[in-house]
Amino acid sequence: MKYCPHCGAEIAEGVRFCPVCGKELVPPVKATPVFEAQDVEENKILAMLGYLTVGILPMVGCRNSAFAMHHVNQALWLFIGELLCCLVMIIPVLGWIIGCVGTMVLFIFTIMGIVRALKGSGEYLPFVAKLPTIIK
Ligand SMILES: [Zn+2]
């Protein structure tokens, strides 16, 4: 359940305006995608393994699974984040700090992604929800 940042009212996901105070919710709360139970059940292990293989295993094993591709997208964004963290490490001191903190945050997100894939959840990771979809 999400809450309106202006008045604190409980609001449904995916709505653009708060039904209580009428203020615009920017950015709009992105709805958690819902996947078919059979898809989730059959592909959650591969979806989880996507986080450990930069999405390669699910792309080979179950390219047609919407659930697995949802997690592949998140795995790819985490990988891009890792690359950026490596890149920023070129800058002495400040870059090392940002790179280290970034890597730790991405590690935590990876664990969260793995847990959500195994639970059969399509809930977005923080920040990743705001990023465009790479693989459909
Ligand atoms: Zn409100």
Is the bond preceding 27 in cis, omega lying within 30 degrees of 0? Answer: yes
Question: What is the CA(32)–ligand 1 centre distance, in A?
Answer: 20
What is the reported pLDDT for 80?
97
pTM for the structure as a whole:
0.78
Question: What is the CA(2)–ligand 1 centre distance, in A?
Answer: 11
What is the reported pLDDT for 27?
67
Question: What is the CA(130)–ligand 1 centre distance, in A?
Answer: 21
The pLDDT profile of the chain, 136 residues, written as one tens digit per residue, is 678 888 989 888 878 889 999 998 876 656 788 899 999 999 999 999 999 999 999 999 999 999 999 999 999 999 999 999 999 999 999 999 999 999 999 999 999 999 999 999 999 998 888 888 998 8
